[in-house]
Amino acid sequence: MNESQHLLASNEAATTEHQAVEATTATAEHSAAPANEANAHVTEAHAEAHDVPPAEVFTHLFSELGDHHGIVLFGHVADLPLIFVDNGKVDFYTSEHSMEAAGTYTMHKGHPVKKVDSNPPQLDLSVTNYVFFQWVAMLLIFVVMRLVVGKYKKNPKKAPSGLQNAIEALVVYMRDTVVYANIPVKRAADRLLPYFLTVFFFILTVNLLGMVPGGHTATSSLSVTGALAIIAFFVINVTAVQEAGVGAWFKHLLGGAPIGLAPIMIVVEVLGLFVKPFALAMRLFANMSAGHMILLVLMGLIFFFKSIWVAPASVLFALFINCLELLVIFLQAYIFTTLTAVFTGLAIGDHAHGEEHAHH
């Protein structure tokens, strides 16, 4: 009897010990699960960021050219705020992570959509990298011009030097060879001079910021070049109406042809009114995008072939393209401004009361 009780007690003790071991093992596995899952996510993100297959290298690189909700500063990604207006409500998020955590919106192929119906917000006012670098360009232009103006006010009779001399040379060159040379009416040229100088320095600064490591060229976006072209469209035609008059502006739509050809010529001339600014937008967009695409292709060859022997040739060609792009940066700012002035002068035509500007 005592032996049976001893055996039963031994079996119960063994069973209890076995259950304790199973419970401990289960607890350990349960505790390790989140850590393993987190490690898996980190490994997956790392693989996605760095282990891009050779066939997808260029697709991955070209995707970096577009508009994003963050900027890269010294190897670190800085988030930009996201602002949405939907059904009269304004939603503000400091980053994509905070937006996802709120649970209202999610990112789908780089664009915010509502989780409920996958529709985008009614109005997206988010700050993107293109918007950020346009703000930086405006701030730089404001600071530089204030410094230059301050030097002139402080010593108006002193000969300019340094940055002041460089800015003055650009301003005088654009005034005499672009604005005054192409707009036949002095009062119109004087009135539009601040606009042309602003356009030139804005495009030039935005283009130069694209050469900074981590920078983006806002003029490689059609929305930016399109906005500049729309402004140019109104400047060209409003100036023509002001200087030539409404009647002369409509007569200009005939293109000098007989009245019998009016149905054809008016259609052609009206199309020309829109084709000119469209060509301005596309030319600036294409030229500024092409340079960056070529650079990405040259550097992408290293990762495509995964060979160090490709690197010297890619780097040398990339350096050459960088030098060439510096020339293109100044050239495109000059071309956009000059063509806008040329189109304005052509729109005014010979109907501006015969007034000619004074040559400087």
> Can you give 189-226 as a three-state secondary structure string?
HHHHHHHHHHHHHHHHHHHHHCCCCCCCCHHHCHHHHH
DSSP classification of residue 76 = E
Q: pLDDT value at position 253?
A: 72
More confident: 86 or 357: 86
Q: Are 304 and 54 in contact (CB under 8 A)?
A: yes
Residue given tokens 């001399």 in the structure block: 165
Q: Residues 44-84: pLDDT tens digits?
A: 333 444 566 766 666 766 666 777 777 877 667 788 888 88
Q: Are 338 and 182 in contact (CB under 8 A)?
A: yes
Q: pLDDT value at position 55?
A: 64
Task: Judge whether residue 178 has pLDDT over 80.
Answer: yes
Segment among 47-56, 89-98, 314-323 with least mean pLDDT = 47-56
Q: pLDDT value at position 137?
A: 95
The residues pairing with 89 across neighbouring beta strands, listed in sequence order, are 86
Domain ranges of the chain: 81-126, 130-348
Q: pLDDT value at position 180?
A: 94
Assign 238 a pLDDT band (cuts: 50, 70, 90).
very high
Distances from the Cα of 252 to the Cα of 59, 63, 272, 284, 350, angstroms: 48, 45, 12, 28, 10
Q: pLDDT value at position 63?
A: 67
Report the alpha-carbon distance of residue 142 to residue 17 in Å, rounded: 78
Report the alpha-carbon distance of residue 321 to residue 103 in Å, rounded: 45
More confident: 331 or 118: 331
Q: What number of H helices and E strands is found in the chain?
A: 11, 7
The top-scoring range by mean pLDDT among 127-131, 134-138, 295-299 is 134-138
Q: pLDDT value at position 267?
A: 83
CA distance between the termini of the chain = 126
One-letter amino acid identity for 88? G
- Strand 76-79, strand 123-124: pairing: unpaired
Task: Judge whether residue 259 has pLDDT over 80.
Answer: no
Torsion of CA 40, 43, 49, 53, to 10 degrees: -100
Q: pLDDT value at position 14?
A: 42
Task: Name the phi and psi angles at 355, rounded to 5.
Answer: -85, 130
Q: Residues 14-41: pLDDT tens digits?
A: 444 444 434 444 443 444 443 343 343 3
The top-scoring range by mean pLDDT among 147-156, 194-203, 266-275, 309-318 is 194-203
The structure tokens listed for 279 are 């060509």
Q: pLDDT value at position 124?
A: 86
If you average pLDDT over residues 194-220, what whole number do you get? 91
Q: Residues 104-118: pLDDT tens digits?
A: 888 887 788 888 888
DSSP classification of residue 179 = I
Average pLDDT, the chain: 79
Percent of the chain with pLDDT over 70: 76
Q: pLDDT value at position 50?
A: 52
Task: Judge whether residue 263 has pLDDT over 80.
Answer: no
Segment among 18-22, 84-88, 301-305, 325-329 with least mean pLDDT = 18-22
Contacts of 63 (CB under 8 A, 6+ apart): none
Percent of the chain with pLDDT over 90: 30
Q: Residues 210-220: pLDDT tens digits?
A: 888 778 889 98
Q: Are 336 and 228 in contact (CB under 8 A)?
A: yes
Of 331, 330, 343, nearest in space to 279 by CA = 343
DSSP annotation string for 46-67: HHHHH---GGGHHHHHHHTTS-
Q: Residues 277-301: pLDDT tens digits?
A: 999 999 999 998 888 888 888 878 8
Assign 350 a pLDDT band (cuts: 50, 70, 90).
low
Q: pLDDT value at position 68?
A: 76
The structure tokens listed for 165 are 């001399």
Of 154, 212, 172, nearest in space to 360 by CA = 172
CB atoms within 10 A of CB 358: 7
